[in-house]
């Protein structure tokens, strides 16, 4: 960091913490939003559990309809994006606003805020892209929100082995799968859009400093929450 930038950072007055919860209002607002989002996803997950409990037949076996290895890789991608997000957070705390900087005597370069946030955005975009590809393939094979499409490959498999493919409850399975993963995908997309906006309006012009990096902390909270929800969804939708 140059001396001029350092001096400019020190001149910026830090925003006062809120007296009630002890945190600034943007962060408090994000936590309240996340609390409401917990209830939103609970309603979805709760409905899924109730539908599964009360369904007249057995749900499809794990891996029979859905591509678990692909989604496991996608899960890992989202986890990696969470790590790059905390690295971006740590970088701005240390005043590392740069992209990459060589470290004397080391082969690897030191990543700054610009690098780690870009990695997070790319991982998030890759996650959504893989999900879109998964949807296209599933619909192509005949798995739709209404169940198995007549005449499709999956419908034929379901006739041959109705228990493995959960033929009797395919409609419930399809609608709950697409609703839950779709809403989660929407959350990821919103996160990527928000991060892209921050990247071009705040991060590239170096508007954040070790004294004030509220935008990074708030978007980070949202991003980790999206990762947390996916961890639960992956287990209950794909593995159980």
Q: Which of 181, 169, 87, 77 is nearest to 134 (CA)?
A: 181
- Residues with Cβ within 8 Å of residue 28, at least 6 apart in sequence: 18, 20, 21
**CB nearer to other proteins: pick between 8 and 32:** 32
Alpha-carbon span 148 to 177, nearest angstrom: 13
Token reading at 43: 């309603």
Per CB under 8 A, does 15 bind other proteins?
A: yes
**Binding region for other proteins (CB under 8 A) out of 50-58, 121-129, 132-140, 184-192:** 50-58
Quickly count: other Cβ atoms within 10 Å of residue 94's Cβ.
Answer: 13
In the complex, least distance from residue 211 CB atom to other proteins, rounded to whole angstroms: 8
Give me the sign of the Cα torsion angle 12, 13, 15, 17.
positive
**CB nearer to other proteins: pick between 8 and 17:** 17
In the complex, least distance from residue 220 CB atom to other proteins, rounded to whole angstroms: 8
Between 183 and 212, how does the x/- string for binding to other proteins read (CB under 8 A)? ----------------------------xx
Q: Tell me the β-bridge partners of 147.
A: 144
Per CB under 8 A, does 146 bind other proteins?
A: no
Phi then psi for residue 101, to 5 deg, are: -135, 135
Q: Using CB under 8 A as the criterion, which residues of the chain lie in contact with other proteins when the complex forms?
A: 14-17, 20-24, 27-28, 31-32, 34-36, 38-39, 42-43, 45-46, 49-50, 53-54, 62-63, 68-69, 72, 75-76, 79-80, 82-83, 85-87, 90, 93, 211-214, 217, 220-221, 224-225, 227-228, 231-232, 234-236, 239-240
């Amino acid at each position: 960091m140059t001396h001029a930038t350092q001096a400019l950072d020190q001149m910026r007055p830090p925003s006062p913490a809120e007296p009630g919860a002890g945190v600034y209002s943007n962060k408090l607002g994000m936590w309240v939003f996340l609390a409401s989002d917990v209830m939103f996803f609970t309603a979805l997950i709760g409905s899924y559990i109730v539908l599964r409990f009360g369904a007249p037949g057995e749900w499809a076996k794990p891996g029979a309809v859905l591509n678990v290895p692909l989604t496991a890789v996608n899960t890992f991608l989202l986890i990696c994006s969470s790590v790059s997000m905390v690295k971006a957070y740590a970088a701005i705390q240390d005043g590392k606003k740069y992209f990459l900087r060589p470290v004397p005597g080391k082969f690897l370069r030191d990543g700054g805020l610009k690098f780690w946030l870009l990695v997070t955005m790319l991982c998030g975009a890759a996650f959504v892209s893989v999900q879109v590809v998964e949807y296209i393939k599933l619909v192509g094979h005949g798995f739709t929100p209404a169940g198995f499409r007549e005449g499709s490959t999956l419908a034929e498999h379901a006739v041959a082995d109705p228990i493995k493919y959960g033929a009797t409850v395919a409609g419930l399975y399809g609608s709950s799968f697409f609703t839950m993963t779709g809403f989660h995908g929407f959350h990821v997309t919103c996160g990527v859009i928000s991060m892209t906006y921050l990247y071009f309006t705040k991060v590239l012009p170096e508007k954040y400093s070790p004294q004030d990096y509220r935008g990074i902390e708030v978007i980070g909270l949202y991003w980790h929450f999206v990762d947390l929800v996916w961890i639960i969804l992956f287990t209950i939708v794909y593995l159980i």
